[in-house]
Amino acid sequence: MQIQVRNLTHIYSEGMPYESVALEDISFDINKGEFVGVIGHTGSGKSTLIQHLNGLLKPKSGSILIDGVDITGKDVKMRDIRRKIGLVFQYPEYQLFEETVHKDVAFGPLNLGLSQEETDQRVAEAIGLVGLDYEEIANRSPFELSGGQKRRVAIAGVIAMKPEILILDEPTAGLDPKAHADILRMVERIHEVQQNSIILVSHNMGDIARLAGKVLVMDRGRLALTGTPGEVFRQADLLESLGLGLPPATYLMRELQSKGVPVSGDILTMEEAEEELYRILSGEK
């Protein structure tokens, strides 16, 4: 077990008139190398949760064990946590600040106390891993790149720290369809190459269904549901009551079932939907 979260509770603005429970009694496990999707509508506590995993927020109670070490403890060094867990925020391109792409990506590794040599090597590796050409881009200013490229550079800045667990908060927000697909392919490649665990926060149910092995569903600060995408997206009524949608393929099958068409309810992706519809539509005549 790589991450064990137990009874995590967090309260915002405690003691103030507008105090609110942000997380309530959350427990889950993440295994090494797992690809976990986190869904829930805005304000459900997803962001608060992932900031806890990175030590940016401290819980009121409960524990987060990473490789057996409780990172909510007082004497834990933040540097050790950040070496293990990388966090890519929403719109990460807004955090770029250095004169060159190389320097910006190097910021994280240098903060970890790595040598210049090791850092340079990691920077080159990370830039390659996000699908950019190191030679071409390393000495350019990050601010003259396109939106999609900026985002890749920002993500490279985190993966150069070689985290064992990489958390991405809506990495495709605001991108056009091509950039969206590219970023997801990139995440898959990072997962493959670095053999790390991925926690992907997304509103796109189709992406989650296709990529994740496990899904956490958040609602009003609670963990409403966990399971494989198949298990989670079968609970269409529950998801709907939480204001969440279904992957488009699952939604289509569900609508067909409700009209009495004999299709399977366990369809998650376009390819599966194609097979299923082919089966019933070609066999019918």
Partner 1 sequence: MEHIIRIDDLVFEYKREEQLEPVRAVNQVSLEIERGSFTAIIGRNGSGKSTLAKNINALLLPSSGAVYVKGLNTADDTKLWEIRQAAGMVFQNPDNQLVSSIVEDDVAFGPENLGIEPGEIRRRVDDSLYSVNMYEERKKAPHLLSGGQKQRIAIAGVIAMRPECIILDEPTAMLDPHGRAEVMEIIQKLHREGITIILITHFMEEAAKADRVIIMDSGRVVLDGEPAQVFLHIEEIKSLNLDVPFAVDLACRLRKRGVEIPENLITTEEMVEYIACRFK
Partner 2 sequence: MIRDITLGQYYPGNSWVHRLDARIKIIWTFVYIVSLFLIKDFWGYIAVLVTLALIIGVSRVPLKFILKGLKPIFLIIVFTFTINMFMTKGTPLFTLGFLTITREGLYNAVFMGIRLVFLIIGSSLLTLVTKPINLTDGIEKLLSPWQRAGLPAHELAMMMTIALRFIPTLLEETDKIMKAQMARGADFESGNIMNRAKSLIPLLVPLFISAFRIAQDLAMAMEARCYRGGSHRTRMNGMKLKKKDGVACFLMLAYLALIVLQRGVW
CA quadruple 175, 179, 184, 189: dihedral positive or negative? Answer: negative
Write each residue from 48 to 77 as x if it is in contact with partner 2 (CB under 8 A), else as -, in one continuous string.
---x--x-x---------------------
Contacted entry of partner 1, partner 2, none for residue 178, CB cut-off 5 to 8 Å set by kind: partner 1
What b-and-e string marks burial along 16-38, b requiring 16 or more CB atoms within 10 Å of the CB? eeeeebbbbebeeebeeebbbbb
Of 143, 241, 261, 278, the one binding partner 2 (CB under 8 A) is: 143
Shortest reach from residue 45's CB to partner 1, in Å: 14
Cα–Cα distance, 71 to 81 (Å, whole number) = 7
Shortest reach from residue 221's CB to partner 2, in Å: 18
Asked if residue 251 binds partner 2 (CB under 8 A), the reply is no
Asked if residue 146 binds partner 2 (CB under 8 A), the reply is no
Contacted entry of partner 1, partner 2, none for residue 107, CB cut-off 5 to 8 Å set by kind: partner 2
Token readout for 47 is: 């962001």
Order of strands, sheet of 165-169, starting from the edge strand that comes earlier in the sequence: 85-88, 165-169, 197-201, 35-39, 214-219, 222-227
Looking at the chain, how many residues does it have?
Answer: 285
Cα–Cα distance, 144 to 280 (Å, whole number) = 52
Q: Which is nearer to partner 2, 97 or 278 (CB)?
A: 97
Contact 102, 138 (CB under 8 A): yes
Stretch of 26-34, 82-90, 185-193, 199-207 lying at the interface with partner 2 (CB under 8 A): 82-90
Question: Which residues in 5-24 contact partner 2 (CB under 8 A)?
Answer: 13, 16-17
| Other CB atoms within 10 A of residue 274 CB | 12
Contacted entry of partner 2, partner 1, none for residue 230, CB cut-off 5 to 8 Å set by kind: none
Question: Which residues in 254-283 contact partner 2 (CB under 8 A)?
Answer: none
Residues of the shown chain interacting with partner 1 in the complex, contacts defined by CB under 8 A:
41-43, 146-148, 173-179, 203, 243, 245, 248-249, 251-252, 255-256, 259-261, 270, 273-274, 277-278, 281-282, 284
Strand residues in the chain grouped as ranges (E):
3-12, 20-30, 35-39, 61-66, 69-70, 85-88, 165-169, 197-201, 214-219, 222-227
Shortest reach from residue 222's CB to partner 1, in Å: 18
Of 30, 96, 190, 201, the one binding partner 2 (CB under 8 A) is: 96
Shortest reach from residue 41's CB to partner 1, in Å: 6
What b-and-e string marks burial along 94-116, b requiring 16 or more CB atoms within 10 Å of the CB? eebebeebbbbbbbbbbebebee
Cα–Cα distance, 115 to 120 (Å, whole number) = 9
Q: What are phi and psi of 125, to 5 degrees?
A: -60, -45
Cα–Cα distance, 83 to 276 (Å, whole number) = 45
Write each residue from 153 to 192 as x if it is in contact with partner 2 (CB under 8 A), else as -, in one continuous string.
----xx--x-------------------------------
Q: Which is nearer to partner 1, 118 or 274 (CB)?
A: 274
Q: Which residues are near partner 2 by CB under 8 A? A: 13, 16-17, 51, 54, 56, 78-79, 82, 86-87, 89, 92, 94-97, 107-108, 111-112, 143, 157-158, 161
